[in-house]
Structure 1
Amino acid sequence: MKVKKYLVLITLFILPIVAYLFFASGITNFGKLAILTNGVDDVVNMDGDATFKDNITVLGFLGNDPNNTNGNAFNLNQKIYKRFYAFKDFQFVMVMPKGMEEEAAELKKELGLLVDMSKWNFVFGDEKQINDFFNSLKTDIQLEDDLSTPYAFIIDKDLSLRGRSEDEEEATLYGFNATSVSELNNKMVDDVKIILAEYRLALKKNSADRQK
């Protein structure tokens, strides 16, 4: 009976503490994404109603041929947006050329059959605006001729591009290939979790400091 009692006590009290310490140490050691580019241009100068400031943003470039990129938008919507849109400071921003407003509205309507689209934003610019803005990311990725790319990017609240810096196993990861469901599931989901946790922990720390 004593052995059974001790097992019950261990299950109820010791294991939760061990689990907490494990996850806490994980956040401490792996809880930040690398800052790859500081001072990314904001999108406030483009047509639309969006800003990176004070938001955690998933950024994409859908170009002027929806037939080539709507599949990427669907993948991002299913694998990333639906999972995280409930966080109040999380958003999507999709860049498209001017003249694509109707196509953007139609895409948003189609995707909205699956989820609340209030955190999906579209902005529109001319070719020079889009190229100049994309170049401010300072990545090793090139825009296609239609001003699209299959890669999605994470921009933090301070207008910095976040990702994975070069290590022994892989090269610097500036963006996530939305044509690959595996990459979205195995890398981007984890990295969005990390940056959200990073800001939540910072918020809790600031709140605790003010209460001292």
Structure 2
Amino acid sequence: MKKTFVLVVLFVFPLVAYLFFASGVNNFGKLPVLTEKIPDVPAMGQEVSLDGKITILGFMGAKVDSMKGNAFNLNQKIYKRFGEFTDFQVVMVVPKGKEAQADALKEELGKLSNVDKWHFTFGEEEQIKAFFKQLKTNTDLDADLSTPYAFIIDKDRNLRGREDDEDEGLKYGFDTSSVAELNNKMEDDVKIILAEYRLALKKNNADRSK
């Protein structure tokens, strides 16, 4: 009897737990839409778009150098992990006139990883403010048009986030100054949205083969 109990604990329970969590991801693993149909980025002479991409969207502001640490955190903890996916990209909004600083930052990031899917788009101050307002988040841009928060935007330009985050409740963005938040929260949520699209693709392929 004792041996049977030990076998159940060692082999059966882990299998049941795996099946439970696997079914949970399939049935309940959709990342909530918090803002529908945000505008496309205010691209100025650059072919940058949110359409058809899973985008990590950020606002670096006029003091690009002061946001380097945030960019490196995002690059190391999120971009390097998911940058291999065809439909994944990082887009940073920067005020016009800061193109040289953005190019220099991208060059530095390029020493650590392939940065083909890191994009910078440039806009006037009022244009950036108006664009950020359309995200309808519970945070504001700083005076220099920056924010430490990065946002997950799906292929249909919907802002995804958390409705019941254990710390914040309604969570629109992820603090790129916190490695722990990127590791423990943003990474999980990017996994969820990627899995959501993979499952949808598999279902579409299965339906076509019928």
TM-score normalised by the chain length of structure 2: 0.89
| 1:176-196 per-position Cα deviation (integer Å, ceiling 9, x unaligned) | 000111111110000000000
Residue 170 of structure 1, CA deviation: 3.8
SS at match of 1:42: coil
- Give the equivalent residue in structure 1 for 2:97: 99
Per-residue deviation at 1:21?
2.5
Structure 1 counterpart of 2:82: 84
User: Displacement, 1:22?
Assistant: 3.4
Letter in structure 2 aligned against 1:190:
D
Name the stretch that deviates more: 36-45 or 143-152.
36-45
Gaps of 5+ in 2: none
- Alignment correspondent of 1:108: 106
Mark the CA change 1:92 to 1:98 in structure 2 (over 3 Å): closer, same or farther.
Answer: same
Letter in 2 for 1:119: K
Q: Distance in 1 between matches of 2:37 and 2:75?
A: 27
1:147 is the counterpart of 2:145: yes
Q: Residue deviations 1:88-126, cap 9 Å, x none?
A: 000000000001111111100000001000010110000
Q: How far apart, in 1, do the equivalents of 2:83 and 2:33 lie?
A: 23
Secondary structure at 2:93 match in 1: strand
1:174 matched to which residue of 2? 172
- The residue number in structure 1 matching 2:133 is 135
> Which secondary structure does the structure 2 equivalent of 1:48 belong to?
coil
Match of 1:162 in 2: 160
Residues 65-80 of structure 1 mapped to structure 2, 5 A cutoff: 65-80=63-78
Query: In 2 relative to 1, CA 144–44 (structure 1 residues): closer, same or farther, beyond 3 Å?
Result: closer
Identity over aligned pairs, percent: 62
**Matched residue SS, 1:95:** strand
Deviation at 1:50, TM superposition (A): 1.0
Cα pair 1:75 1:181 within 8 Å, conserved: yes
The correspondence for 2:30, drawn from 29, 32, 56, is 32
- What stretches of structure 1 of length at least 5 have no aligned partner? none
CA contact (8 A) 1:47 1:125 kept: no
Cα 1:167–1:145, aligned 2, differ >3 Å: closer, same or farther? closer
CA distance in 2, matches of 1:179, 1:79: 11
Match of 1:54 in 2: 52
Aligned pairs, number = 203
Taking the aligned partners of 1:166 and 1:187, their CA distance within structure 2 comes to: 12
Q: Is the 8 A contact 1:95 1:124 kept in 2?
A: yes
Q: For residue 88 of structure 1, what is the amino acid of its counterpart?
A: T
Once the two structures are overlaid, the 10-residue window that deviates more, 135-144 or 22-31, is 22-31
Report the Cα distance in structure 2 between the residues aligned to 1:84 and 1:21, rounded to whole angstroms: 25
Q: Normalized against structure 1, the TM-score is what? A: 0.89
Q: Return the offset for 1:28.
A: 2.5
